[in-house]
Amino acid sequence: MNSPSNPSGLTQLGAHAPAPASPDKAVLERVANPHPGTLYLARFTAPEFTSLCPVTGQPDFAHLVIDYAPGAWIVESKSLKLYLTAFRNHGAFHEDCTVSIGKRLVDTLAPTWLRIAGYWYPRGGMPIDVFWQTAKAPDGLWVPDTGVASYRGRG
């Protein structure tokens, strides 16, 4: 609900918001893009993302990089942090976590373009990197490298 102190109707920003029990219960909020019609890229990185293996229950760790070109909406960052935190007790394979996050952002924001890169740390001796994007990046959009080096182990 909009109020003078919260004109965007956000429910989590500026308020106590406990970690959601699961990604499905997380509230991902959006606000109007302050530069509609301008092609630009916004990047979020989550270098300490965690989830659980759906078979063993063991923790999995990833470095996520989310790039998107906003349309009419931008994601409210606290709600994104809480949404990502909800995966800590959620069992899913690396591919499912990475692609599900990208699709949820697309459903919420309807961006001009989005890509997500999930650089998963090794378990069982093999890192898994997962990449998903909505389409080819729009002409004229500067899309920098994700900046995450390939896993090289100890040498």
Active site residues: 53, 60
Neighbours of 43 (CB within 10 A): 12
| DSSP one-letter string for 67-108 | EEE-SSEEE-HHHHHHHHHGGGG-B--HHHHHHHHHHHHHHH
Torsion sign over Cα 68, 73, 79, 83: negative
